[in-house]
Amino acid sequence: MENERGREKLIKWAVKSPLTYRLLRPVLDLLTRKNDNEPFKIWVRFLLDAMNNSYARKQPVVWMSAFTPSEIAYGMGYVPFMPEIIASVVTYLGKSKGPIALANAYASSDLCSFHRCALGLVMEDYLPKPDLIISSSYLCEGANKFFHYLASYYRCPHLMVDAPYRGGSAAKKYVADQLKELVDKSSRLLGLVPDMSVMSQALELSNKARAYIAEINRLRRSRPSPFPGSEGLSYLAGMVFYSLGSKWGVDFFKTLHLSLEQKVAKGEGYLPEEKYRLLWLHHIRPYYKNEIFKILEEKKAAVSFEETNYLYWPALEPSKPYESLADKIISNIWAGSLERRVHAIEEMVEEYDIDGVIHFSHWGCRQSCGGAAVVGDVLKQKGLPYIVLPGDGADPDNFSPGQTRTRLEALIEMLG
């Protein structure tokens, strides 16, 4: 028992020490030197840098929900920390069950498993303490309650951006005014002096990344599919959420663009042979070990694109940061009427020459489950094979391998 406690204490010290992440960088570079997936390497380096900065505490650490624009953090000069993204990484490493089990004693198992995983990590004292928490009201109502609870737990301020249901000029002004107030309040709370030239630079960097994202999405229309959807739902989506507004983001998307450009020029696909092209709906996939994509690959079905990587926002105006970021927020196709999302899905089906659609319905996520039937009705009317795939992104106990295989094979049968 004493040895076990000592081991846990050592692991916790290593996780919370900035030195760990500085030492891991050259070690991982050495271990992956033969791996030609340069974008993935940048993602790993980005994560190590983010963790190092979060634990080093040379700048204020601000926890943010995944749908809060990261440009705000980089423009303000504080360290963004996104516990939902970190929970997905923990799940990918096969370590989510312990934190989720701990959180289940305090929170309903109906809640999103990413939030429960993060809550368990909080209660085990693995995560860096926030100086401030910022969340947004749109898409994920559970996130606001989660972050509100964490603000109480850590006894730190919680600022929230409220996005209205409908867009338009009045909505844009409403959100822009909130963003200005958020910057003013966070500056006072953290003892910072806002530098709008830094904010403008963050928006310029975000625009550069956005331009590469647009080109990446264009290249992914190619047949055969040059990039695996399983990776589009992991580190590619992670960088969209976490890196925009930073030099890391520009470096990552530039590198991925170059890689795909070379593959498309050579006519290379990520599958040895591609027979069907699929669209994956919702923002996530199961990140623990599973055979979903292996089953699809065996059936020569490529996940050619993912809803989460749809480029929905216009280029930002660095001279008008609040208005631009407000426009980005209210442009989100998953906010407001379901018609916006359906229209975007129809566009993706057309652009990526999609043969069939998988809607992953993550347990506890009202946003992902609520519109699944309506989306399915629209696509079925167009003659597109469509399945709803129930599951859980972070909790392997809510995953049914047999049922999942049956549904995937049924989809392939419809395609055939």
Distances (CA, A) of 43 to 192, 220, 367: 29, 20, 27
Q: Would residue 1 count as lying in a domain?
A: no
**Chain-centre distance of CA 273, in angstroms?**
29
3-state secondary structure (DSSP) of residue 343? helix
Q: Would residue 411 count as lying in a domain?
A: yes
pLDDT (0 to 100) of residue 159:
96
Q: Would residue 156 count as lying in a domain?
A: yes
* Residues in contact with 252: Cβ distance below 8 Å, sequence separation at least 6, in sequence order: 39, 42, 43, 46, 209, 239, 243
Q: Would residue 226 count as lying in a domain?
A: yes
3-state secondary structure (DSSP) of residue 196? helix
| DSSP strand pairing (158-161 vs 132-136) | parallel
Question: What DSSP letter does each residue of 108-175 carry, written as one string?
Answer: -TTS-HHHHHHHHHHHTT-SPPPSEEEEESSS-HHHHHHHHHHHHHHT--EEEEPPPSS-SHHHHHHH
Full pLDDT tens readout for the chain, 416 residues:
667 777 888 889 999 999 999 999 998 888 788 788 999 999 999 999 999 999 999 999 999 999 999 999 999 999 999 999 999 999 999 999 999 999 999 888 888 999 999 999 999 999 999 999 999 988 887 888 899 999 999 999 999 999 898 888 999 999 999 999 999 999 999 998 889 999 999 999 999 999 999 999 999 999 999 999 999 999 999 999 999 999 999 999 999 999 999 999 999 999 999 999 999 999 999 999 999 999 999 999 999 999 999 999 999 999 999 999 999 999 999 988 899 999 999 999 999 999 999 999 998 787 777 789 999 999 999 999 999 999 999 999 999 999 999 999 999 999 98
> What's the domain count of the chain?
1
Q: Would residue 245 count as lying in a domain?
A: yes
Q: Which helix (H) or strand (E) holds 52?
A: helix 38-56
Distance from C-alpha of 264 to C-alpha of 39, rounded to nearest angstrom:
16
CATH of the domain at 246: 3.40.50.11900
Q: Would residue 15 count as lying in a domain?
A: no
For 322, the domain range is: 35-415
Q: Would residue 322 count as lying in a domain?
A: yes
Distance from C-alpha of 153 to C-alpha of 147, rounded to nearest angstrom:
10
Statement: the pTM of the whole predicted model exceeds 0.85: yes
Distance from C-alpha of 138 to C-alpha of 337, rounded to nearest angstrom:
12
Residue 127 near residue 156, CB atoms below 8 Å: no
pLDDT (0 to 100) of residue 194:
86
Distance from C-alpha of 113 to C-alpha of 397, rounded to nearest angstrom:
10
Q: Would residue 312 count as lying in a domain?
A: yes
pLDDT (0 to 100) of residue 92:
96
